[in-house]
Every structure is written in structure tokens, then in C-alpha cells.
Amino acid sequence: MSKDLNRRQFLKTSAAAGAMLVAGDLMSRGTSMAQGTVKILETEKATVTILADNYYDLTAPHSKIAKRHRINPQSSIFDMGFHAEHGLSYHVEVVAGGVPASFLFDFGMDSQGVNRNCELLKLDFTKIEALALSHGHFDHWGTLVSMLKSKKGMLREGIPLYFGEDAFIERYSKSPDGGARSLGLLNRSDLEALAYVKLVEIKTPTQIVPGAYSTGRIEMVTEYEKGQPPLVIKQGDQFTQDFFIGEQVIVINIKGKGLIVLSGCAHRGIVNAVKQAQAISGIQKVHAVIGGFHLTGAKPEIIQKTAADIKAVSPDFVVPTHCTGFEAITAFSKEMPEQFILSTVGTHFSFAA
């Protein structure tokens, strides 16, 4: 039997098992978390590569799990700089049962910049098996349609794009004078026109590739993580607070080490996201918390509560990205100096059993 056939059989079997395990809606609006867990495959390895983020430092040193990308010294000095932006994109590779699988989680905002980063990192789009979107904000889907169009023929036929139930609604930001600015709309029809992409809406824990799972709906259980009032959606003629009910977070289980919790913005709260990951997996040990924590502009007491609660979880590593904000990043670096690692574009965060 060929290696490709073995791989296809593995993926097919894993997908079927995953579908059985996630049957049923664990999280309905207005209800508490259902009891029960999802059997999450253990992985031997996982690598999270930062394709787009708010910050880049050419001279940042390697650190523990963080390997900073280095350009061939024979290259032009002008080929050594990555693009940083107010956007976020990850490339994730996991190895489960000896079989590697990779996917993209979020896609950044600026097509030209993100594509350049992918070129500098020599990202092989032919090996990407799935796509996942955390939520429907422009800085996470801005490059999606153009990327899919430009990579047609490289991405495999029928590649799934996983997203939450409210990914395709127009979102707004309210100003102090009572006005509201549109934050754009990801048009579903633009994606449906790309016939080789399979759209998959999820509400429950769902396997993205073997060894990596999306949480499904995240319950808001902490008393202080209640969303961001300036962010709204329109219902009829009225603006109401956007609670991002479809926001997704990625969960990976490193054998013998615990969970990796990977967020986009954590609009529903990064502590809530970690609690959800623990609840659906039945695993309390958290190896790493990576992602946007959406604490930019937050009150100091909220930042301190968040840092304290993440510290109480005792992750081995904490890597704030994107919309966490300078003040919160600083708070985490002070509160958890041994666990804290700075995220920069082009960094490979590697985990192994």
C-alpha cells in the first residue's frame, strides 16, 4: 500500500472518529456547559508559525520553544524584513501517530504583506490540509479570498474552511459620539464561488486535522470577561453588543505535556477559552497559551485579573499576540517571567512530547 494511501486512510478514519465524538451541541446560547468530554488525540509534536502579527524584531533571540526565523546571510539585506500589521495569521503543523498534518488558522489583513511573509518562510501550500477562521473581523479574514484565488492549483481540491456560526455578519465599532464605523463583512458568496473550497460551519468541538481541534462555542463563565462594548452588530435598526458567539479557539494535546490553547482575539475572554479547552478535553494541564487576548485598552484591573487567572492555570508557556496590547503584554511578562515569550512575525513555536 502506498504512503499516500496510508495517509488518506488515516485521515479518513480520524475524521470519522472525530465526527462521532463531537456529536451533539455542547454549547447552546443561554445554557450552561454540557457535561462530557471529547477524546482528543495526543500529538507527538506541534509547531505554530506566526505568519502575521503586530510586531517584528529582526534581532530577537531564540528563546526556549521560540525559534526566530533567520534569512540566508547571502541574501540581500532588504530580503530580511518581515511585514508586521494589525492582523493575525498562524500556520500550524501537528504530528499525531507519526503522521504530520498542517492547516492555516486566520489569515491576516494585508494580502501583499502576508504573502511576502509566506514567501520568506517558504510555506508549502500543497501540504496544507485545512483552513480555520477564529471570527469575522477584517484583521483575521482580510487576505482570505485573495489568498485562496492566488493559491488555486496549490491548495488541494475540497479543502475545508472551518468557521463559527456568525462569521458572515457585518461588524461595527461604536465611537464616543454615538456613531458606528463598519468593520467590513466577509462575503460568503465570494467563498462559495471558489468551488474547490468546502465551507464547514461548526458549533461543537470539531477536529480540524488529526490532533488539532476547534472548541466550538466558548461559554463566558468568568465575571469580568463580558465582551468589549464598543464592538457591536446591527439587529434591525439598533446596534447591540457583539458577543462573538461563533468565535473559535484551537486546542492541541501534547503527549505528556498538556494542552496548547491557540486563540485569534479571545473576544469571549482568554480565561474563558482556556476553561473551555479544559472542559471539552477533560485535561486540566495546560502546556501553552498562545494568541490574541484582546486586552488592548482594557482597564488595569481587568488586565491584572486576567494575568492572575492565567497564572493560576500554571501553563508552561504564555505567548500573547496581536490585540493583547502593550500594557497587558508587559503585565504578563512581569507576572509570569519564566513562562512569558515575546511573539514576533516569523517565529516558529515548537512543542514536543
The Cα–Cα gap between 207 and 191 comes to 21
33 located within any domain = no
pLDDT (0 to 100) of residue 111: 96
Query: For position 47, which CATH number holds?
Result: 3.60.15.10
273 located within any domain = yes
Indicate the number of domains in the chain: 1
Q: Which helix (H) or strand (E) holds 350?
A: strand 348-352
245 located within any domain = yes
Specify the amino acid at residue 249.
V
Residue written as cell 451541541? 25
pLDDT (0 to 100) of residue 126: 97
Cell of residue 250, nine digits: 484551537
184 located within any domain = yes
36 located within any domain = no
pLDDT (0 to 100) of residue 115: 96
115 located within any domain = yes
Residue 127 belongs to what domain range?
3-22+42-352
Please, which residues bridge with residue 107 across strands? 89
Buried b / exposed e over 176-193, threshold 16 CB at 10 Å, is eeeeeeebbebeeeebee
The Cα–Cα gap between 184 and 170 comes to 6
27 located within any domain = no
Is-contact 27 219, C-beta < 8 A? yes
Question: Which 3 state secondary structure label does DSSP give 150?
Answer: helix
For the sheet containing 171-174, what is the strand order?
Answer: 180-182, 171-174, 231-235, 238-241
Profile the chain (353 residues) by mean pLDDT over runs of 10 residues.
42 40 34 58 97 94 93 75 95 97 98 95 97 98 97 96 96 88 95 96 96 96 94 92 97 98 98 97 97 96 98 98 97 98 97 97
318 located within any domain = yes
Contacts of 226-232 with CB under 8 Å at 24 or more apart are: 226/269, 227/267, 227/268, 228/267, 228/294, 229/174, 230/173, 230/174, 230/175, 231/171, 231/172, 231/173, 231/174, 231/267, 232/171, 232/172, 232/173, 232/174, 232/180
pLDDT (0 to 100) of residue 237: 87
